[in-house]
Amino acid sequence: MNAVIDIRPAAAEGCADAPVLRERGQREVFCGLTGIIWLHRKIQDAFFLVVGSRTCAHLLQSAAGVMIFAEPRFATAIIDERDLAGLADANEELDRVVTRLLERRPDIRMLFLVGSCPSEVIKLDLSRAASRLSKAFSPGVRILNYSGSGIETTFTQGEDACLASLVPELPASPASAAASLMVVGALADVVEDQFRRLFSELGMGAVQFFPPRRSTELPAVGPNTRYLLAQPFLADTARALDERGAKRLPAPFPLGVEGTTLWLQAAAQAFGIDKRHFDQVVAPKRERAQRALARQRTELEGKSIFFFPDSQLELPLARFLSREMGMRLTEVGTPFLHRQHMADELALLPAGTVLSEGQDVERQLDRCREQQPDIVVCGLGLANPLESEGLTTKWAIELVFTPIHGYDQAADLAELFSRPLVRRMKLVA
Ligand code: SF4
């Protein structure tokens, strides 16, 4: 199904009300199980048990690369290959696997049962299994569940589903508690530490990060919680936090110098931080990052880029690359467009940007070929064929695995795009 793209008047500012091409066809995106790869590194005492098939196990292993863990913190319980007489068998089997795992690994404090696609798994009620097992292993281990199934989730939605399942577990902060800030979305530890230092220099008091590094450090939430989304793919988590009374601080996402500054500013304003003090704290970091970016800009300026929908990071990335790196946006695809969470990003995008939501992969490939962009951001499945046609690609998944948020990472983020372009030029030369 295809909508018609209206041409936006050139005079209009940004893309706040821009029309969006909505496509609902075949899509080429990883499923939500992929999120386990970065989540298991973030929550260090958690374990992710995928209830699934051999395909799920292979996906996890190949997405994790050749990492060798002495103590792996994810595994797949394969249940689609036995002739199940009834669901009781599957539940008993699951209980047995979980019991064995927790006996062997007393370091596990939180266990996620992660649902997947096979029909045998869909028939299992994993939320009942989680509450049954939680009772059995309480209070030492919390057992939760969410779905990473490719039918319900694309790859970054796995994190959203995981964090949304954690929100009801957060302790309640008393109504009399002072207002506090929560940063929501898994960030690399190094980035989290940088932001923590920045918030402390700004004088923001205790800032909590969700997810925490340990399941025993879950942040409290309540009507006095103000939260900043660090990742643009957390619609369900945000809804769950809103239901607990927390309030989202609208802001662009902290990608690039501009995004990071506006993101920090949203928090500083909400907490009454003096503007001069804010500028004093931020200016040296901003200037250093801008100097580092200037080198990358020479490689990227004037180059065109096409985004296939993958990670939901596409809009903030497009904003950064067009406004700070001078790139030309040919099409910016996103699997889902959350108008509220993206409002500040849309307003900053150049007027007339072609936006698309969802995918009809063949049609989108045709548009991409027609545009002949200098670089294409896409999933692994599309990258090889496009490279063989002479196009330069960037794997969307790398943008999720690499620390890219904040001032100190802005140049690294730009380099993720300039490197393949430079490599291609060398090949052609
Ligand atoms: Fe498993 Fe479904 Fe993901 Fe395939 S798409 S790996 S079956 S959850």
In this prediction, residue 67 carries a pLDDT of 54
Q: Quick check: 18 pLDDT over 90?
A: no
Distance from the alpha carbon of residue 28 to the mean position of ligand 1, in angstroms: 13
In this prediction, residue 338 carries a pLDDT of 94
Contacting residues for 287 by C-beta, under 8 A, at least 6 apart: none
27/362 Cα distance (integer angstroms): 9
- Arithmetic mean of pLDDT, 190-194: 97
Place of tokens 């990473």: 148
The 10s digit of each residue's pLDDT in 116-143 is 998 888 888 999 999 999 999 999 999 9
CB 204 within 8 A of CB 271: yes
Query: Which tokens is 217 given?
Result: 């450090």
- Arithmetic mean of pLDDT, 31-42: 92
CB 98 within 8 A of CB 49: yes
Torsional sign, CA 240, 244, 245, 251: negative
The 10s digit of each residue's pLDDT in 69-84 is 556 888 888 876 554 5
In this prediction, residue 2 carries a pLDDT of 33
In this prediction, residue 419 carries a pLDDT of 93
C-alpha 233, offset from chain centre: 5
81/118 Cα distance (integer angstroms): 10
- Structure-derived torsion over alpha carbons of residues 105, 108, 112, 114, reported in degrees to the nearest 10: -30
Percentage of the chain modeled with pLDDT above 70: 92
E strand or H helix at 217: none
Q: Answer left, alpha or beta for residue 150, where phi above 0 means left and psi between -120 and 50 means alpha.
A: alpha
In this prediction, residue 8 carries a pLDDT of 34
What is the per-residue DSSP string for 80-137?
A: SSS--SSHHHHHHHHHHHHHHHHHH-TT--EEEEEE-SSHHHHHS-HHHHHHHHHHHH
> How many residues appear in the chain?
429
Contacting residues for 309 by C-beta, under 8 A, at least 6 apart: 27, 29, 333, 334, 335, 356, 357, 358, 359
Is the pTM above the cut of 0.75? yes
- Structure-derived torsion over alpha carbons of residues 367, 370, 371, 374, reported in degrees to the nearest 10: 110
The 10s digit of each residue's pLDDT in 210-236 is 999 999 999 999 999 999 999 999 999
Residues near ligand 1 (Cβ within 6 A): 31, 33, 52-53, 55-56, 59, 116-117, 148-150
- Ligand 1 atom nearest residue 52's Cα: 1
Query: For 126-145, b where at least 16 C-beta lie within 10 A, e where not — what string?
Result: beebbeebbeeeeeebbbbb
To test the pocket of ligand 1, the residue of 76, 116, 119 to mutate (highest count of ligand atoms within 8 Å of its CB) is 116
Distance from the alpha carbon of residue 316 to the mean position of ligand 1, in angstroms: 28
Distance from the alpha carbon of residue 312 to the mean position of ligand 1, in angstroms: 19
Distance from the alpha carbon of residue 149 to the mean position of ligand 1, in angstroms: 6
pLDDT band at 65 (very low <50, low <70, confident <90, very high): low
DSSP code at position 170: S
- Ligand 1 atom nearest residue 58's Cα: 6
Atom 5 of ligand 1, residue of closest alpha carbon: 150
- Arithmetic mean of pLDDT, 28-49: 90
Strand partners, 76: 50
pLDDT band at 1 (very low <50, low <70, confident <90, very high): very low
Place of tokens 């209830």: 51
Atom 7 of ligand 1, residue of closest alpha carbon: 117
In this prediction, residue 201 carries a pLDDT of 97
DSSP code at position 173: P
pLDDT band at 406 (very low <50, low <70, confident <90, very high): very high
Instruction: Tell me the average pLDDT of the chain.
Output: 90
Distance from the alpha carbon of residue 75 to the mean position of ligand 1, in angstroms: 14
Q: Quick check: 355 pLDDT over 60?
A: yes
- Arithmetic mean of pLDDT, 55-76: 76
114/61 Cα distance (integer angstroms): 15
Atom 1 of ligand 1, residue of closest alpha carbon: 56
Distances (CA, A) of 130 to 104, 113, 143, 216: 19, 7, 5, 18
357/335 Cα distance (integer angstroms): 5
φ, ψ of residue 375 in degrees (nearest 5): -145, 145
- Ligand 1 atom nearest residue 150's Cα: 5
116/122 Cα distance (integer angstroms): 7
Distance from the alpha carbon of residue 336 to the mean position of ligand 1, in angstroms: 20
